[in-house]
Amino acid sequence: MEFERAASVQPSPMIDPFGRAISYLRVSVTDRCDFRCVYCMAENMTFLPKADLLTLEELDRLCSAFIVKGVRKLRLTGGEPLVRRGIMTLFQSLARHLAEGTLDELTLTTNGSQLPKYAAELAAHGVKRINVSLDTLDADKFRAITRWGELAKVLAGIDAAQDAGLRIKINVVALKGVNEDEFPSLIEWAHGRGMDLTVIEVMPLGDVGEQRLDQYLPLSMVRARLAERFTLDEIDDRTGGPARYVRVGETGGRLGFITPLTHNFCESCNRVRLTCTGTLYMCLGQEDAADLRTPLRASEGNDLVYAAIDEAITRKPKGHDFVIDRRHKRPALARHMSVTGG
Ligand code: SAM
C-alpha cells in the first residue's frame, strides 16, 4: 500500500487545450425526477437501470478525485438531486472538503419540491446558496409546464430554504407563449424576497415530444421588453457561470440572462459535467464523453481515474454550437438535460 502510494503520480491541475483551468464540476446524481417539465423530458421517460448508477460512495470518490485535481466548486444536480435515496449522506461526506478548505462551494440545483424535507440538513452540511428552478407563479401553468408538479410544494420549499438561511437564485426558462408575460411579476416577487433571478433560453437537448421552435423565445426580446418597464444597469458580476447580470433599478435585485443560442459563452468555460453513471462530458453541448466508471472500479487507488480525467480534459472542445434547426426540428443533441444535469 505504502509502495503503491509512493509510486503514484502527483495529480496535476486540469488545464484544457485552450488554457482554461477546470475548477467547477457539476454532477448529475440521478436521471430521475418527480417532475416532467415539457422542455426537459418526455412524459414517458425510460430511466437508467439502478444497477448502472454509481453508488453514493463511488460518487463521493469521484468528486473527491476532482477536488484533488483542482475543482473548487461542486454542484449536485440531476434529474432531481433530492429524489436520490440517501443523498444527504453524500452532502454530509462532501462537506469534509469545505471544512478542510479544499472546496470553496458545495451547492445544488433543485426543483424545490423536496426542500421542506431537506433544507435544514443541506444548511447543516455547509450548503450556503442554491438554485431553484421555477418558471411560473401560476399554479395551473406550473402544472402544465411540469406535468406532475405542485406549485404550493415548491413555494413551501423556498420558504423552508430561506428559513434555514440558504440564499436562493431562481432559474426561469423562457417559454414562448407560456410565461413570457410573467417576467415582471417573477422579478418583483424574487427580488422582493431577496433572491436573484436568472432567465434561461430553452436549449435543444433531447427529444421531448414538443416542438422546440414553439418553445424558443430569444432573450434579446425578453430583455428589450423588460427594459421598457425597468431600469436595467449592466453589472460586471460573474458567478463563475455563463450568466450576464444587470441590476434592476426599481427592485435593487440582480437579474441574469443565460443565452446559449443568441450569445455564446464558451470562452470562459471552467466546468465539466459528470453523470450518475460516471460518464464525463467536457461540454454540455457536445456528444464527446469519457468513461470514468471503468477506471474507478478497476482499482482502489485513484491513479487510473486521474489519468482518465487528464485524457478527457485534452478533449474539451472550444465551445458548443446549439442550433434550433428550422428544417428538421430535431434536437441538436439526443441527450436530455436530465442526463447531463442542468
Ligand atoms: N431538477 C433540478 C431542477 O429542476 O433544477 C435540476 C436539474 S434541471 C435539468 C436543471 C435546470 O435545467 C432547470 O432549471 C431546468 O429548467 C433547466 N432545463 C432543463 N431542460 C432545459 C432545456 N432544454 N433548455 C434550457 N433549460 C433546461
What does the pLDDT look like over 322-341, one tens digit per residue? 654 444 455 566 666 666 65
More confident residue, 1 or 178: 178
Evaluate: CB of 171 within 6 angstroms of ligand 1: yes
pLDDT digits (tens, 9 = 90+) for 67-106: 999 999 999 999 999 999 999 999 999 999 999 999 999 9
CA–centroid distance, residue 32 to ligand 1 (Å): 12
Q: Which pLDDT score is estimated for 2?
A: 41
The three state secondary structure string of the chain is CHHHHHHCCCCCCCECCCCCECCEEEEECCCCCCCCCCCCCCCCCCCCCHHHCCCHHHHHHHHHHHHHCCCCEEEEECCCHHHCCCHHHHHHHHHHHHHHCCCCEEEEEECCCCHHHHHHHHHHCCCCEEEEECCCCCHHHHHHHHCCCCHHHHHHHHHHHHHCCCEEEEEEEECCCCCCCCHHHHHHHHHHCCCEEEEEECCCECCCCCCHHHHCCCHHHHHHHHHHHCCEEEECCCCCCCCEEEEECCCCCEEEEECCCCCCCHHHCCEEEECCCCEEECCCCCCCEEECHHHHHHCCCCHHHHHHHHHHHCCCCCCCCCCCCCCCCCCCECCCHHHHCC
pTM exceeding 0.75: yes
Q: Which pLDDT score is estimated for 325?
A: 47
What is the rounded average pLDDT for all residues in the chain?
90
Q: Which pLDDT score is estimated for 287?
A: 85
Q: Which pLDDT score is estimated for 51?
A: 85
Q: Which pLDDT score is estimated for 240?
A: 54
pLDDT digits (tens, 9 = 90+) for 211-220: 555 788 989 9
Question: Which of the listed residues 31, 40, 198 should we mutate to test ligand 1's pocket, taking the one with most ligand atoms within 8 A of CB?
Answer: 40
pLDDT digits (tens, 9 = 90+) for 118-152: 999 999 999 999 999 999 999 999 999 999 999 99
Evaluate: CB of 31 within 6 angstroms of ligand 1: no
CA–centroid distance, residue 7 to ligand 1 (Å): 43
Question: Which of the listed residues 110, 115, 142, 173 should we mutate to test ligand 1's pocket, taking the one with most ligand atoms within 8 A of CB?
Answer: 173
Q: Which pLDDT score is estimated for 1?
A: 41
Query: pLDDT band at residue 264, thresholds of 50, 70 and 90?
Result: low
Evaluate: CB of 200 within 6 angstroms of ligand 1: yes
Evaluate: CB of 149 within 6 angstroms of ligand 1: no
Query: pLDDT band at residue 10, thresholds of 50, 70 and 90?
Result: confident
Q: Which pLDDT score is estimated for 334?
A: 63
Least confident of 2-11, 131-140, 244-253, 260-269: 2-11
Q: Which pLDDT score is estimated for 171?
A: 98
For range 177-201, the mean pLDDT: 97
Q: Which pLDDT score is estimated for 326?
A: 44
